[in-house]
Amino acid sequence: MDSARILLFIGLAMHASLLASGNQYKVVCYHSNWSRYRPSPGTFTEANIDPFLCTHLIYAFGVFDDNGNITPHELDWEFPRYVAFNEVKLQNPNLKTLLAIGGWNFGSIAFSNMANDPVKRKNFVDTSISILRDYNFDGLDLDWEYPVQRGGAAIDKDNFVTLCKELMIAYTAEADSSGKTRLLLTAAVPASRANIQAGYDVPELNNYLDFFNLMTYDFHGGWDSTTGHNSPLYASPYDSGDYAHFNVNDTAAYWHEVGVPKNKIIVGLATYGRSFTLSSTSNFGVNAPASTGPAGTQTREAGFMSYYEICNDMQTGGSVMFDDTMQVPYYVNGNVWVGYDDENSLRIKANMIADYQYGGMMIWAIALDDFNHICSTSTRTFPLIKAASEVLNPTGAAPSVDPVVPGDPTAAPTTTTTTTTTTAPATGSSNTGFCANRVDGFYANPGSCESFYNCYEGQTYLTNCPSGTLFDESTNSCDWEISVKCNTPLIRK
């Protein structure tokens, strides 16, 4: 048995052992407080939250004043939503809720000033405990974007550690004195190596944070002059220099390399895409000349589209392409180009998380999935989150786990050949009838070794094997090309 096959079976055994022990991968979902102001059908309030969708639910965002006192965001002043948010735990007592402080729009300067002042830090710590306990939160999520950057100071790197240390000491003491479960302390952290190196003393932070939420998205967008994917699993051949690290796989591996245990690494998954306007409709691939794309009709931000806006737009036409190197799809309709994730690509990413035994997945954001089931390609509400979650925490619903990719998922792809294949607009049941009257499971695609059929309750799901691998009928898994006898022509050859 070769080393790749050994690693495959070890990974499967570890995953099975984890599930058998009753432990769960974390499914950490952010709820944005501004989503309730979107026009219908994008309006999302606490009433739209599925209490059983996630293991951890984070309210974004709270803020703090010039003295470090935590306060509700201005969007929450008129009607504080914290009570309604935490009432979801009445239906699911196992759900953990956290309050996120900060965010991109809040900036870095206020954090820098607060963290550099012992009095303001104490105010921040004290008010965090009172607000979290008063409103029945289970913890705090720090969204400082980012220490040292965006007007911050060099001392931020040390001060962020100090802030986390003082918070953890206070939370531990409060739990000891009250007899309550200690409040959780987490942080949303960047994907850029430059930001990580500049602002994060990772080994020290690891002493005080319960887990790290990796913001592994926004790798490319309208700020670039060419098309690029929002959240590629692996690097594109067009990525060079620092951009070669702008992908989910590399970022997760790097956070582990610099000091975070795998079980504390929560890998970020996006339920939205970044849109571009192509300079020419005749050049529509990855790295094509482009500028910022259109806004979604509900999310109303240039170059940004929720999944429900993307899949709804697909109903008007266009083509979906799947990039076998990056392992993600993109959508082209006229001069509009969108790099996004669908059910298939999120299952692939979830398998990477399981294979490498990271702590779980983080979702930005629940209000951007097809929560209203407005798309004809969706078979249920929250299709993206559920597809990925079922890979990590199977509950007996749909067995949506793709075959595990052999070998170390943090290694670089074994081929640099760019392959683009046209697939259905979104992963879901096809009309081929292949799985009719077949037992649930994985089956070879007679037309191509590069994909396979996943049959469940008579429904047919066509899925591509990751780049460099082919479907092996003898093991019902995707294995390295050299190990598989294939009798069909290979498109990517």
What is the set of active-site residues?
145
Q: Which two tokens stand for residue 155?
A: 């001392």
CA 29 from chain centre, in angstroms, equals 9
Among residues 243, 366, 370, 270, the alpha carbon closest in space to that of 311 is found at 370
Counted residue by residue, the chain has a size of 493
Whether residue 49 contacts residue 88, with contact meaning beta carbons closer than 8 Å, is answered with yes
Place of tokens 């500028």: 291
Helix (DSSP H) and strand (DSSP E) numbers for the chain = 11, 21
Transcribe 65-119 into DSSP letters: -TTS-EE--GGGSSS--HHHHHGGGGT-TT-EEEEEEE-TTT-SHHHHHHHT-HH
Hey, what amino acid is at 492? R
Is residue 468 helix, strand or coil? coil
d(CA 200, CA 294): 35
d(CA 187, CA 170): 17
Whether residue 409 contacts residue 14, with contact meaning beta carbons closer than 8 Å, is answered with no
Among residues 238, 156, 245, the alpha carbon closest in space to that of 416 is found at 238
Residue 201 backbone dihedrals phi, psi, to 5 degrees: -85, 85
- Cβ-defined contacts of 250-258 (< 8 Å, 24+): 251/191, 251/214, 251/216, 252/214, 252/216, 252/353, 252/356, 252/358, 252/410, 253/410, 254/193, 254/196, 255/189, 255/196, 255/202, 255/212, 255/214, 256/410, 258/196, 258/202, 258/203
d(CA 388, CA 266): 13
